[in-house]
Each structure stands twice: as structure tokens, then as C-alpha cells.
Amino acid sequence: MIINFNDKLKEVCNSIEIDINNEQIEQLNLFKELLLAWNEKMNLTAIVDEHEIIAKHFLDSMIPAHLFSEGNVIDVGTGAGFPILPLKILKPQLEVYGLDALNKRILFLKEVSKELGVNLNLIHGRAEDYAKKDVSRETFKYATARAVAPLNILAEYNLPFLKIGGEFIAYKGSNYKDELNESEKALELLGGKVKKIYDYKVPIVEEDKYAIVIEKIDNTPTRYPRKPGIPKKRPL
């Protein structure tokens, strides 16, 4: 099977009614090339097959882009930049932040954003620490997370960053219903409420995915997030 990346990018953008121009297509291509090249030297992603990288990283990150309008977004556990970098390329009006506990991934993203000419703010640190800081606490319109932790843990990482009315958009797989059931208490404690669930299929791999949109309806009590490691060890 031969996949034409550019055709897939156009197809996906067409289906979500977002315009994509040649410059954006070039940026996504360059990002893919840099990811493939750097991944040979350091562990950026466990997925190595190019078709899977296109589908599971790029297209999966892009399809929910229409859920974002404008404002600032923090991607918690951004890793090699998914979903935040494809989102920024598709929606340049977003002010984007990528946070990760692993510095080598942040260094990779510094290099990529420089090469692409994209303004991506990068923070090396843990969500539990960064969400306590005045500069970041309850200051974001959107928070995202993909492949980082189950939803009850993610809620404690992400909801403290949001201002009231903001949205946490969690990229999830078919296990999302169980994760949602186990997150009821966490959402209530942290000031979140499920607003909608957007379901989609990732082309090429034909995988069912779900973007869970959780609205921040109340301030998060200052005791959350708890100390680094505690949300994972003792989920709410």
C-alpha cells in the first residue's frame, strides 16, 4: 500500500472543513522527516512504520482540530509534539505550549519549531509542578493530553491549568467509557464536567478514537494537583 501523505492531509482537512495551504503541508512534511530522522538516534516514539506515524500521530492529532477556536492551549505530556504541533500548524491563531517531563523531547521540539518557523512555547517540567505556578494556573482556554495517563489522572494534571469556561480535550481510544466512569469523582473535585464526546475514525489504520471535551465549570481547589507522582500513585 502506498500512502500519499499530502493527499491524506488534504482529505482530512476537507472532512473537518479546515483550509490547508502549501506552506502548512510543507511544515507537516518537514516535521515528519525530522521525527523519522531523530527517532533513529533517540527514543521519541515507539511507532516506527511511516504509515503508522502518518495515521496514528499526524492524522489522529489533526482530526479534532475543529474543536479549537482561538486562545491559548497547553499540551500536557506533549512528547514529540502530539497533538500540539499539528494543531498549531493547522490553526496558527492558537497560542500553544508544550509541557513534558523529559528534556530530550523538549530539546527535539525546540529544534523542530525553529526549523518549521512555528512559535511553540516549550516547558520542561511536570504537570504537578507547573500547574501550581501563578503564571500558568487557571490561565488557559484549552488543555490537551494524548497517550499520557488514564482520564482520572489526566484530570488532575490538566484541569488546574484551565480558566472557567475553558476546555480539557482528551484524546482517547476505545476504552474511554471505562475511563470516564472512573473519573466521575475526580471531575467533581477538580471542577470539570463532560461537555461532549467527538468520535472519529483515523484513516489508514481505521482506528476508532474519541475526543472527550471536559468543560471547566468551577475553580480547582488549590490542593490540586497533589505532589509529583501522587496523582498516578493514588488517582482521585
Ligand X SMILES: C[S@@+](CC[C@H](N)C(=O)[O-])C[C@H]1O[C@@H](n2cnc3c(N)ncnc32)[C@H](O)[C@@H]1O
Member of 88, 91, 126, 209 binding ligand X (CB under 6 A) = 126
The verdict on 194 binding ligand X (CB under 6 A) reads no
The verdict on 82 binding ligand X (CB under 6 A) reads yes
**Is residue 118 within 8 Å of 27, Cβ to Cβ?**
yes
Which is nearest to 32 in space by CA: 44, 22, 16, 20?
Answer: 44
The verdict on 101 binding ligand X (CB under 6 A) reads yes
Say whether 80 counts as a known binding-site residue: no
Task: For residue 172, give the DSSP letter.
Answer: E
Which is nearest to 86 in space by CA: 12, 149, 176?
Answer: 12
Member of 157, 161, 168, 176 binding ligand X (CB under 6 A) = 157
Say whether 127 counts as a known binding-site residue: yes
Q: Which is nearer to ligand X, 30 or 47 (CB)?
A: 47
The verdict on 77 binding ligand X (CB under 6 A) reads yes
Say whether 77 counts as a known binding-site residue: yes
Task: For residue 219, give the DSSP letter.
Answer: P
Say whether 58 counts as a known binding-site residue: no
The verdict on 64 binding ligand X (CB under 6 A) reads no
C-alpha distances (whole Å) from 143 to each of 27, 35, 95, 114, 234 are: 23, 23, 12, 23, 22
Cell of 78: 506533549
Say whether 68 counts as a known binding-site residue: no
Which is nearest to 80 in space by CA: 130, 23, 42?
Answer: 42
Instruction: State the residues that interact with ligand X by CB under 6 A.
Output: 76-80, 82, 99-102, 105, 126-128, 146-148, 157
Can you say which residues are annotated as belonging to the binding site for S-adenosyl-L-methionine?
A: 77, 82, 127-128, 146
